[in-house]
């Protein structure tokens, strides 16, 4: 009788341990939530236009007045500053492979983004962007802790991008028109700097300049080890860095 009781307890304990491990793995992998879709320039522009429409929908007179006084951008001369907005963020996408063979794309983002660009004529002469990597958040606090650890945020809390080659737009795009450009500069993560080229989409909407893009990097090039968890068989070395930035004239 005592032997059966002890065996039962062991079995129950092992079963409970397995459940905890699986649940922890699922939570780490984000199976309890849906990851945000990749940001596109169309999404960002539509969100900004939608905000403007919602703000003036209560009063048609306000809408008419807003149309008459709308900011029209026909020059990028001067300094432009990153605007605080839900569409402004820097983030990552990385593929996790679980012990059962199932893949999952983990997504983390930070809204702690600051920076400026300086324009002259149709040329972007300089860009300096900083992102607070301690603010990166995904659907899992466990993953977030691992990401902060491997990024070395205790010593290097900020990631930066500094343009090293001017960008010539050719012409100032009309409201809502998308321009595709390459931004070559120095990306610094974990205290390591590498030269990269970001393919970017840019547009003008409601007095703001909207910039969206992503680039694939190798974590090992920035001395970043891949995050880990007991249920995760492997995490790919390559990750995508996403940017969605709104600029307002200073």
d(CA 126, CA 130): 14
Mean pLDDT over 48-52 rounds to: 78
Mean local confidence (pLDDT), 4-14: 47
Percent of all residues in the chain with a pLDDT value above 70, rounded to a whole number: 72
Instruction: Calculate the average pLDDT of the chain.
Output: 81
Give the least confident one: 19-28, 57-66, 141-150, 174-183: 19-28
Residue 110 has pLDDT above 50, yes or no: yes
95/66: higher pLDDT: 95
For the beta carbon of residue 19, count every other beta carbon within 10 angstroms: 10
- The mean pLDDT of 224-240, rounded to a whole number, is 67
Residue 33 φ then ψ, to 5°: -155, 165
The pLDDT value recorded for residue 9 is 43
Choice among 7-11, 17-21, 89-93 with the minimum mean pLDDT: 17-21
Query: What is the pLDDT averaged over residues 214-236?
Result: 75
> Model pTM?
0.78
Q: pLDDT grade, residue 245 (50/70/90)?
A: very high
| DSSP state letter for 165 | S
pLDDT (0 to 100) of residue 62: 45
Residue range 172-219, pLDDT digits in tens: 999 989 999 999 999 999 999 999 999 999 999 999 999 999 999 999
pLDDT of residue 17: 39
Number of C-beta neighbours around residue 208 at 10 A: 23
> Across-strand partners of 108?
92
Phi-psi region of 223 (alpha: psi -120 to 50; beta: other; left: phi over 0): left
Compute the CA torsion angle 44, 46, 48, 51 (nearest 10 deg): -140
pLDDT, one tens digit per residue, over 68-102 is 445 678 899 999 999 999 999 999 998 876 555 56
Which of the residue ranges 10-14, 47-51, 72-76, 221-225 would you say has the lowest mean pLDDT? 10-14
Per-residue pLDDT at 235: 60
> What is the Cα–Cα distance from 104 to 87, expressed in whole angstroms?
24
- 231 pLDDT above the threshold of 60: no
Tokens (6 digits) for 157: 């809390």
Alpha-carbon gap, residue 53 to 43, rounded angstroms? 15
Instruction: Render pLDDT for 140-149 as a digit per residue (tens, 0 to 9).
Output: 898 899 899 9
Domains of the chain: 2-249 (2.40.128.110)
Number of residues assigned to the chain: 250
Report the alpha-carbon distance of residue 172 to residue 158 in Å, rounded: 32
Is it the case that residue 1 has pLDDT exceeding 60? no
Name which residue leads in pLDDT, 63 or 135.
135
């Amino acid at each position: 009788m005592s032997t059966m009781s002890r065996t039962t307890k062991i079995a129950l304990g092992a079963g409970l341990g397995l459940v905890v491990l699986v649940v922890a793995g699922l939570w780490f992998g984000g199976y309890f939530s849906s990851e945000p879709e990749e940001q596109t320039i169309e999404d960002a522009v539509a969100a900004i236009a939608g905000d403007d429409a919602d703000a003036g929908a209560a009063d048609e007179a306000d809408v008419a007045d807003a149309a008459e006084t709308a900011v029209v951008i026909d020059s990028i001369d001067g300094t432009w500053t990153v605007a605080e907005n839900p569409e402004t963020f820097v983030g990552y996408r990385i593929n996790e492979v679980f012990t059962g063979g199932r893949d999952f794309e983990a997504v983390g983002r930070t809204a702690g983004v600051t920076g400026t660009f300086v324009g002259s004529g149709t040329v972007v002469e300089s860009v300096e962007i900083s992102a607070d990597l301690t603010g990166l958040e995904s659907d899992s606090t466990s993953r977030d802790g691992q990401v902060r650890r491997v990024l070395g945020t205790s010593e290097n809390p900020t990631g930066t991008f500094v343009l090293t080659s001017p960008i010539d737009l050719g012409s100032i795009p009309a409201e809502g028109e998308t321009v595709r450009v390459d931004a070559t500069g120095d990306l610094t993560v974990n205290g390591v700097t590498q030269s990269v080229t970001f393919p970017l989409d840019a547009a003008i909407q409601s007095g703001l300049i909207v910039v969206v893009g992503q680039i694939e990097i190798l974590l090992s090039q920035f001395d970043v080890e891949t995050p880990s968890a007991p249920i995760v068989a492997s995490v790919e070395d390559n990750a995508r860095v996403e940017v969605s930035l709104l600029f307002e004239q200073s």
